[in-house]
């Protein structure tokens, strides 16, 4: 008669676990506790070893089974608790196959233009399944897309132009969006990212006009910048003081972080503070709608946000014509409150960010800017009935004769401050002009480049400076195969801005582009050989 050991270890039979020796009265005897079969034990060391091996294997299987049970139970609990957040953010930034692009800065750009450009760019790059989702507030949004299993997430945070540069500085943005040019202190602060004012970092993606809006019932149609300064600083408190119906002036303004406010402060306030009681807004649409509803209200917004309010004409000074913010006056930057919309990209930015910036200045992107309500930079022909140049004697007469049968292109080329070099926008505008003139039906067009200067210095010096500007543009176009029929300087004639300010003088330093199919001859200028008014050398 043999003794046996119960083999039912996985069920945790106490006799199997203790290896208790059980008398086997018959060869097929079973465990009295669990009725499992018995294995002969003892008598043979080989059998004993086999039993030990079998028991050890059974123990191992039990450990594996228990581990698997708790592992899957834990994963199931994690999936259950994360189901909520997963609905609002289906693409996690921790995924290794996720491509991410972060834009931060201007509300003017971030509200509509930047998302539209991002979506068009992603489609061009072959991405599909695009989804645009709002962020935690109305100033943020998220765009998701995928292509062949590769996912992309674009995060847009639009809390004002100032946050474009702080975001780049702090490493939380790949691209900065700004509705004003970068300041000197910001250039210095971001020097570790490269020269942010260089052509490969500063991109003008569209133009915008800061429109001054009033209540539709207001009978005032035009104001000078000096009058605007008085209204918004509180020096002019009643509409009768500027020719309107008597009644108190109600000021509405953008917030301090806004690039719109920064531009308005620079172009209008000229060192004055905006009225302390002004109602402030983070959103341009809300400001415009509030002005449209309140009698006596006045405010300022970007061009696409005029909505139901009334936009008034603005003049730079007593010599300048009052201009309304239109596509032409903004495209040429002749409207006094025109501004550029920028993207700023660090020199070492990732390839995806740089590719998007290049797309944002393309002709396709400029068409998108037009559709949204901003002003694109693709040149267009505009018939000018009257140039507005009515003074200046011989110069004015020669300008009118030259342009009488011509059409103007909706672009002015401007220069770096205090320099004869074209600025970053002008360098891109030259390429746009080349594409314009390359079309077969435009090969016979005659190109006229008309240069202008500010009024600092003598008339003859300003004539010389304006001529150098026209020649600079002519050489640049000729390097691409486009030869100008005329490149002529008109000095300080026809200012479009106030020469009393740095910003105004910079606007007046420009080259206009005109086209005609008629024969043209360059006009003459007064002789300056014996000019005794020279005040020394000037920067072009």
pTM for the full model? 0.72
**What are the residue ranges spanned by the domains of the chain?**
2-81, 211-328, 381-540
346-349 long-range CB contacts below 8 Å, 24 or more apart?
Answer: 346/168, 346/174, 346/190, 346/193, 346/194, 346/196, 346/201, 347/193, 347/194, 347/195, 347/198, 347/200, 347/201, 348/193, 348/194, 349/174, 349/175
Query: Taking a C-beta distance cutoff of 8 angstroms, is the pair 353, 174 a contact?
Result: yes
Percent of the chain at pLDDT above 90? 57
Both structure tokens of 446: 């005659």
pLDDT for 389 equals 53
Give the three-state DSSP class for 230: helix
- From residue 352, alpha-carbon distances to 175, 282, 479 in Å are 11, 30, 30
pLDDT for 497 equals 81
Q: What b/e sequence results for 349-359 when a residue is b if at least 16 CB atoms lie within 10 Å of its CB, and e otherwise?
A: beeebbebbeb
What are the phi and psi torsion angles at 311 (to 5°)? -90, 135
pLDDT for 85 equals 33
> Considering the domain 211-328, what is its CATH architecture?
3-Layer(aba) Sandwich (3.40)
Q: Give burial (CB, 10 Å; 0-12/13-18/19+) of 269.
A: middle
| pLDDT band per the 50, 70, 90 thresholds, residue 382 | confident
Is the pLDDT at 82 greater than 50, yes or no?
no
Tell me the average pLDDT of the chain. 84
Query: Taking a C-beta distance cutoff of 8 angstroms, is the pair 518, 477 a contact?
Result: no
Is the pLDDT at 432 greater than 50, yes or no?
yes
Query: Taking a C-beta distance cutoff of 8 angstroms, is the pair 357, 203 a contact?
Result: yes
Q: Quick one: CA dihedral 354, 356, 362, 366, positive or negative?
A: negative
Is the pLDDT at 336 greater than 80, yes or no?
yes
- Which numeric CATH code is attached to 381-540? 3.30.1330.60
pLDDT for 265 equals 87
Query: Taking a C-beta distance cutoff of 8 angstroms, is the pair 333, 507 a contact?
Result: yes
pLDDT for 27 equals 67
- d(CA 451, CA 470) in angstroms, rounded, equals 5
pLDDT for 229 equals 96
What are the phi and psi torsion angles at 279 (to 5°)? -80, 130
Looking from the CA of 343 toward its CB, the CA atoms found within 13 Å total 28
pLDDT for 392 equals 53
The C-alpha torsion from 63 through 66 and 70 to 75, rounded to 10°, is: 80
pLDDT for 502 equals 81
pLDDT for 53 equals 47
What are the phi and psi torsion angles at 521 (to 5°)? -135, 140
pLDDT, mean of residues 268-289: 93
Query: Taking a C-beta distance cutoff of 8 angstroms, is the pair 146, 152 a contact?
Result: yes
- d(CA 172, CA 215) in angstroms, rounded, equals 40
pLDDT for 174 equals 98
């Amino acid at each position: 008669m043999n003794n046996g050991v119960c083999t039912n270890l996985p069920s945790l039979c106490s006799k199997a676990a203790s290896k208790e020796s059980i008398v086997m009265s018959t060869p097929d005897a079973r465990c009295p506790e669990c009725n499992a079969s018995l294995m002969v034990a003892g008598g043979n060391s080989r059998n004993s070893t086999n039993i030990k091996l079998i028991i050890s294997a059974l123990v191992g299987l039990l450990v594996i089974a228990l581990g698997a049970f708790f592992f899957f139970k834990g994963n199931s609990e994690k999936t259950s608790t994360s189901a909520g957040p997963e609905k609002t953010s289906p693409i996690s930034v921790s995924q290794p196959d996720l491509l991410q692009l972060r834009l931060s800065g201007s509300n003017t750009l971030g509200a509509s233009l930047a998302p539209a450009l991002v979506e068009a760019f992603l489609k061009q790059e072959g991405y599909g399944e695009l989804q645009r989702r709002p962020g935690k507030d109305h100033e943020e949004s998220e765009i998701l897309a995928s292509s062949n299993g590769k996912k992309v997430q674009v995060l847009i945070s639009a809390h004002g132009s100032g946050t474009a540069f702080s975001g780049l500085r702090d490493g939380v943005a790949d691209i900065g969006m700004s509705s004003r040019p970068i300041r000197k202190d910001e250039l210095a602060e971001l020097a570790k990212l490269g020269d942010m004012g260089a052509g490969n970092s500063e991109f003008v993606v569209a133009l915008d006009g800061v429109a001054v809006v009033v209540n539709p019932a207001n009978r005032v149609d035009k104001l000078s910048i000096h009058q605007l300064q008085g209204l918004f600083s509180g020096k002019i408190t009643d509409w009768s003081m500027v020719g309107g119906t008597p009644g108190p002036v109600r000021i509405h303004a953008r917030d301090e972080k806004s690039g719109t406010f920064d531009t308005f402060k620079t172009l209008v306030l000229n060192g004055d503070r905006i009225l302390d009681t002004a109602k402030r807004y983070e959103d341009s649409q809300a400001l415009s709608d509030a002005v449209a509803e309140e009698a006596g209200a006045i405010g300022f917004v970007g061009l696409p946000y005029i909505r139901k309010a009334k936009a008034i004409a603005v003049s730079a000074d007593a010599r300048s014509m009052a201009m309304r913010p239109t596509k032409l006056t903004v495209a040429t930057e002749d409207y006094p409150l025109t501004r550029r919309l920028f993207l700023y990209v660090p020199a070492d930015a990732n390839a995806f960010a740089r590719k998007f910036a290049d797309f944002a200045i393309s002709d396709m992107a400029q068409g998108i800017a037009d559709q949204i309500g901003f002003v694109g930079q693709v040149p267009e022909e505009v018939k000018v009935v009257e140039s507005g140049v009515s003074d200046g004697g011989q110069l004015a007469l020669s300008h009118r004769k030259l342009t009488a049968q011509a059409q103007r292109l909706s672009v002015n080329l401007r220069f770096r401050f205090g320099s004869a070099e074209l600025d970053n926008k002008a360098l891109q505008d030259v390429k746009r002009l080349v594409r314009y003139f390359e079309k077969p039906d435009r090969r016979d067009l005659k190109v006229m480049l008309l240069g202008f200067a500010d009024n600092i210095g003598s008339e003859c010096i300003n004539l010389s400076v304006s001529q150098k500007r026209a020649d600079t543009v002519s050489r640049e176009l000729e390097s691409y195969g486009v030869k100008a029929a005329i490149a002529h300087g008109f000095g300080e004639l026809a200012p479009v801005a106030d020469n009393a300010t740095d910003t105004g003088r910079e606007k007046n330093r420009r080259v206009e582009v005109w086209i005609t199919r008629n024969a043209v001859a360059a006009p003459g200028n007064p002789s300056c050989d014996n000019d005794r008014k020279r005040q020394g050398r000037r920067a072009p």
